[in-house]
Amino acid sequence: MEDFINTAEPVGSRTIARRYGFGISPATIRNEMADLEEMGYLEQPHTSAGRIPSERGYRYYVDHLMEPEEPGEEEKELIRKHIKLKSREIGTVIQQTGLILSQLTSYATLATSLCGRSAYRHIQLAPFGPGQAMVLVVLASGEVFHRLIPVPEGITPYDLESISSVLNAKLRGLTVKDIKFTILKEIYTELSYYRRVLDLAFELIQEALNVKEERVYHGGILSILSQPEFKNVERLQTLLGLLEQEDFLCGLLTSNSAQEGISICIGREFKNKEIRELSMVSTSYRITNDMYGVLAVLGPTRMHYARVAGVLKYVSENLLEELIKVFGK
Amino acid sequence: MEDFINTAEPVGSRTIARRYGFGISPATIRNEMADLEEMGYLEQPHTSAGRIPSERGYRYYVDHLMEPEEPGEEEKELIRKHIKLKSREIGTVIQQTGLILSQLTSYATLATSLCGRSAYRHIQLAPFGPGQAMVLVVLASGEVFHRLIPVPEGITPYDLESISSVLNAKLRGLTVKDIKFTILKEIYTELSYYRRVLDLAFELIQEALNVKEERVYHGGILSILSQPEFKNVERLQTLLGLLEQEDFLCGLLTSNSAQEGISICIGREFKNKEIRELSMVSTSYRITNDMYGVLAVLGPTRMHYARVAGVLKYVSENLLEELIKVFGK
DNA sequence: TTTTAGCACTCATTCAAGGAGAGTGCTAAC
DNA sequence: GTTAGCACTCTCCTTGAATGAGTGCTAAAA
């Protein structure tokens, strides 16, 4: 298993005997390997090649044999140094985390923005030139969405400010699902003073509610170019094309990493056909009951699972720690 | 020239005679081509192959022979349909524009965010959990930057609001370079009432000033995978790696497309060695004196210049038109 | 019963040789 | 100025043989 993971070449009986010297001869190893193949743990690309692990073999390895490999001290140092909230911009921190993870494993990484039932923290209407206003929506996850909307002539910055404060008073702390008709009605009566901007206000609420909540950052996707299994440019094209689609990645993360702790998905275990040559090691970290994130490493089936699992664990723990500094406990 | 652009194969004398039938024989064409080669407009990969254009040949072609190819009616329709400010988010519109451009040309596209001396339109401090505030900065270009900052205990949302309005009153309409010491001093006196938040206010100004102003969106970078000149995975890796670096792209755009109108940079004309197998067709659109953007198409030297120039021209005119709706004249 | 040595066999890879095909340059004729 | 003819060049493809890594199976040894 480990020899194949390192070399990407089928492993023969003589190689094992010579390289690892268990004190048994190639012939014995051949017999054992023939047994393992019959049991479905190994495969032969063609009759006179060595063996490679089957997906069942990988599964057995990650479930029973593998021991997550603790990253070295310098690596830990590097990780801690990169997951700092220097920039004070949560998206950037998560993206940075993905990058360092990808750099240390040399596989692609995926990272969701903080997700869960995210509440509104602030809604602001800012004046923006004649006939326009900029809607700013800040979510509890630290994400910010913005959009331009047209406003009728005659609306002053002061009006915008008033509307903002009404919206904030009514909506702050609520999640999208919490918003009920009664609240909208309250806002309506509150703003009836501003007869002429009422329609605008409701359009705005609509906008503020319509933000897309989850994003997926990716990093190091190009690292799969250096994996020998992806020398074929055409395959590469479909694969890279997929990995640039945020929707696709989002589905991948949500459907394959529900549990806490490290979880591993191998090749054909994916529901999606196009990525059946890949494996994913993922983990989720929970900041509050309502807020969590997912980190994942995506690489070829022949992935260095032990190392990836170890690094991923350490990275996700550090990220969680850093984010808790922002969001409190 | 056009045959090579379409087929990516060296063009021989017989091919020309047979395919285009000028009424002259291959032998005549051979003589002419030999002359053109001597003059430096054609090259021969090896003695018994056809000719391919040299970079000097491309240069002559785009300068004297080529006529920008007007896009077809359905294509124009498609372009107009995609460059709509539906989403009312300027970054998204620019990105969309890049995507449709890339789709129509099947090359990679680059697009800067709106750049120039961008003034502050709005600065907002929003409360964000205990001990934190979210700084929101809206620029005249429609870009929004955000960042979390720590605030001392005891600062109320009301305080934040007051600071915001002072900052807005003083800074709105100014560009980064306009901000002088006198203004900072004014803010200082204005906020002296808020003794205890003074430091915070200045830290905030610092943050608000430190936004990175220019971004580069890219789209369709993977389309270069389907170009036959990039079958080699290793080259591909360095190239794609470069094209993911925003700084690099930014430099590329600013140094190679200063002029108005379509400008074309071919192969070795780039200052940067790594992309000497590429060409770039670029144009800039100017919204106001202070605000402009750059659109570019990046492809192999063997690029369909006439078509790209035509599509790019139409797309950039449409984008400009659409953006003027937002920013007025 | 387990392990090992030996042997015939299989298959991918590499290399050289040779032919096909596309294209050229040059020369002489039109 | 244009064209036909011819010898020549170079890439590409196919073919065949050699190489080498690895296998399965059998019989002998431990």
Mutate to test the interface with B, among A84, A85, A88 (most CBs of B within 10 A): A88
Contact assignment for A128 to B142 by CB distance below 8 Å:
yes
Contacts of B144 (CB under 8 A, 6+ apart): A134, A136, A144, A146, B136, B137, B138
Q: Which amino acid is at A320?
A: L
pLDDT given at position B207: 64
Mutate to test the interface with B, among A84, A85, A87, A132 (most CBs of B within 10 A): A132
pLDDT given at position B205: 65
On whether the CB atoms of residues B287 and B114 are closer than 8 A, the answer is: yes
Name chain A contacts of B325, Cβ cutoff 8 Å. none
- State how far the Cα of B217 lies from the Cα of A32, in Å rounded to an integer: 55
* B19 near A CB under 8 A: no
On whether the CB atoms of residues B301 and B227 are closer than 8 A, the answer is: no
Whether residue B162 is predicted with pLDDT greater than 80 in this model: the reply is yes
Radius of gyration for the alpha carbons in chain B, expressed in angstroms and rounded: 26
Host H or E run for residue A238:
helix A233-243
**Tokens 């990220």 belong to residue:** A319
The C-alpha of B100 sits at a distance from chain A's nearest C-alpha, in angstroms, of 16
Residue B207, both tokens:
């943050």
Q: What are residue B131's phi and psi, to 5 degrees?
A: 75, 10
Alpha helices per DSSP H over chain B: 2-7, 13-20, 26-38, 55-60, 73-82, 90-105, 157-171, 181-190, 198-209, 233-243, 246-256, 305-327
CA B251 to chain centre: 10
| Window 211-230 of B, Cβ < 8 Å to A | 222, 225-226, 230
Q: What is the mean pLDDT of chain B?
A: 86
Q: Does residue A195 or residue A321 have the better pLDDT?
A: A321
Tens digit of each residue's pLDDT (9 = 90 or more) over A303-320:
999 999 999 999 999 999
Nucleotide nearest to B30 (CA to C1'): C24
Model pTM greater than 0.95?
A: no
- Given CA atoms A15, A21, A22, A24 in this order, what sign does their dihedral have? positive
Contact assignment for B237 to A226 by CB distance below 8 Å:
yes
Q: Band the pLDDT of B204: cuts 50, 70, 90.
A: low
**What nucleotides of chain C have any atom within 7 angstroms of a protein Cβ?**
3-6, 9-12, 21-27
Q: Band the pLDDT of B102: cuts 50, 70, 90.
A: very high
pLDDT given at position B170: 84
On whether the CB atoms of residues A37 and A43 are closer than 8 A, the answer is: yes
Q: What percent of chain A has pLDDT over 90?
A: 38
Q: Does residue A198 or residue B127 have the better pLDDT?
A: B127
Q: Coil, strand or helix: which one is B325?
A: helix
* B9 near A CB under 8 A: no
Nearest residue in chain B measured CA to CA from A240: B222
Out of A124, A148, A233, the one facing B126 most closely (by C-beta) is A124
pLDDT given at position A210: 65
Region A8-36: mean pLDDT is: 87
Tens digit of each residue's pLDDT (9 = 90 or more) over B206-228:
666 666 667 899 999 988 888 88
Whether residue B109 is predicted with pLDDT greater than 80 in this model: the reply is yes
Tens digit of each residue's pLDDT (9 = 90 or more) over A57-115:
999 999 999 999 999 999 999 999 999 866 668 888 999 999 999 999 999 999 998 88
Out of B148, B244, B326, the one facing A326 most closely (by C-beta) is B148
